[in-house]
Amino acid sequence: MEPPRAKSASHYLSQQDVQSAAAGDRTAQRLIYEATSDRVFRLMVRMVGQQDADDLTQQTFVRAFTKLDQFNGESKFETWLYRLATNEALQHLRREKHRRTKELVVEPTARHIDQVEQYERAATVRTALDRLDPELRAIFTLKEESGLSYQEIAVTLGIPEGTVGSRLNRARRELRTLIDGSWE
């Protein structure tokens, strides 16, 4: 029996939803967008920063809906979508050619010292992430922010699963070095 259709972002996307969207069904496309756009946006914020995340999220969905007929069901739909989003972010970073530090949004009520310290630490981590090689940043973000497994990351990025582990370890080492160097 198929799970009941829900209108929330936690809706389970069925193969039928994807097939209907590929056939041009706007309702199915909206369902896919509502179920996955928040996660794609969070990935984009981590990959390219707040300023460009909206545009790249939209570009990802435009590309996804034009390529839905290429989704073959060998992986989860979300994994396929993350691959498109990651490629879109990496292409953007390559076109940009320079990495600029993205500012974090701060709540206007940040008056307490520990909130300021927390903001400074978050800014340091964000700056360190921005300085990581884009491919390492992608792996780190897909694992730590999106919670993908090594296998899902391997499929998303088209690399061997063992490479995911070694690059994730390298990303963590480089982040630790960058963060430790800025707090000294």
The rounded distance, in Å, linking the Cα atoms of 86 and 81 is 9
Residue 38 clears pLDDT 90, i.e. is over it: yes
- State the helix-helix crossing angle for 26-48 and 50-67, rounded to 10 degrees: 140
CATH topology (fold) of 15-183:
Rna Polymerase Sigma Factor; Chain: A (1.10.1740)
Half-sphere exposure of 119 (CA within 13 A, CB side): 14
**Domain boundaries in the chain?**
15-183
User: 48-102: per-residue pLDDT in tens?
Assistant: 888 889 999 999 999 999 999 888 888 889 989 999 999 999 888 877 754 444 4
Task: Summarize pLDDT for 109-159 with one digit per residue, the tens.
Answer: 444 556 667 767 777 878 888 888 888 988 998 888 888 889 989 988 889
How distant, in Å, are the alpha carbons of 35, 48, 97, 156 from that of 14? 11, 30, 39, 19
**Owner of token pair 């809706």:** 11
Cβ atoms 164, 154 nearer than 8 A: yes
The whole-model pTM stands at 0.62
Task: Report d(CA 110, CA 118) in Å as an integer.
Answer: 10
Which band of pLDDT confidence, cut at 50, 70 and 90, is reported for residue 182? low
Report the percentage of the chain scoring pLDDT > 90.
Answer: 32
Return the pLDDT at 55.
Answer: 93
Among residues 173, 138, 141, 130, the alpha carbon closest in space to that of 158 is found at: 138
Residue 23, helix vs strand vs coil: coil
